[in-house]
Copies of this chain bind each other. A is one copy, B any other.
Amino acid sequence: MSRRAAATARRRTAYHHGDLRAALVTAATALLDTEGPLGVTLRGAARGAGVSQAAPYRHFSDKSALLAAVAEDGFRRLRHAIARAARTHARDPVAALRAMAIAVVRFAAAHPSHYRLMSGPAVRGRDHPALRDAAVGAWALLAGAIERGQRAGRIRPGDPVALSFALWCSIHGLAVLAVDEQIPANVLKVVPLEQLAEHATRCLLEGLAPRPPSRAARRARPASRATARQ
């Protein structure tokens, strides 16, 4: 993975680290897990890699560049988790979607600080295209599953991207609420997190299911201009 390993196997010397970039990402990730988002520090990562304070600047232009690399790594892992969940239900697209949702929430619960970093203000996708791509890559799996569901007649027709977007909002919203500890105790007491994911996903998937023309659905006016402002 590292450009060093790909090269002629430079040996680490006392002076040159060998693969500092990867070591810094690892150290920063460790800090993230143990100390939380505010505990991640450029100097701390350097210490963790056994290197001086300014060394990171040979590999990252910025603190936020380091954080972006960490976040990108997180999205890679998240994508793998989602893909694995999808594979376990290759036959049933709806079950696959549910499993994917649970995988996301599980990932968030297992690595709260990491998930926070991935979707937080510390790194803006705009400034780090690779991060953006990694994020989109992870969530794009949802659209694929939606499409399979449509082909199987389990999900109503329509733009898969638009439909998966609604699902994305739900799942990400739940994950973020969990990670930010904003789920009220009276909810979490009764129902464990994964069941909440199932619940939220089911509510949405029922909305996405094909259905005979329903009076209630059509009664809803398409757009009311008299909504609240601000």
Residue-by-residue, is A122-142 near B (CB-CB < 8 Å gives 1, otherwise 0)? 001110000010011000000
If A181-B124, A227-B99 touch, whether A211 touches B211 (CB-CB below 8 Å) is: yes
The yes or no answer to A120 lying at the interface (CB within 8 A) is yes
Nearest CB of B to A187, in Å: 6
Among B103, B168, B174, point to the contact of A177 (Cβ < 8 A).
Answer: B168
The yes or no answer to A37 lying at the interface (CB within 8 A) is yes
The CA-CA distance from A99 to B186 in the complex, in Å, is: 26
Interface size of A in residues (CB-CB distance below 8 Å): 80
Q: Does B106 contact A116, Cβ atoms closer than 8 Å?
A: no
Q: Does A202 contact B176, Cβ atoms closer than 8 Å?
A: no
Q: Which residue of B lies closest to A178 (CB)?
A: B169
Q: Does A95 contact B220, Cβ atoms closer than 8 Å?
A: yes
The yes or no answer to A25 lying at the interface (CB within 8 A) is no
In the complex, what residues of B have CB within 8 A of residue A82's CB? 228
The CA-CA distance from A226 to B206 in the complex, in Å, is: 21
If A121-B180, A182-B119 touch, whether A166 touches B224 (CB-CB below 8 Å) is: no
Among B116, B163, B210, B216, point to the contact of A209 (Cβ < 8 A).
Answer: B216
If A204-B207, A228-B99 touch, whether A177 touches B170 (CB-CB below 8 Å) is: no
Q: Which residue of B lies closest to A175 (CB)?
A: B173
Hey, which bits of chain A sit against chain B, CB under 8 A?
36-38, 77, 81-82, 84-85, 88-89, 94-95, 98-100, 102-103, 106-107, 110, 113, 116, 119-121, 124-126, 132, 135-136, 154, 161-163, 165-166, 168-174, 176-177, 180-182, 184, 186-187, 191, 195-196, 198-200, 202-211, 214, 216-217, 220-221, 223-224, 226-230
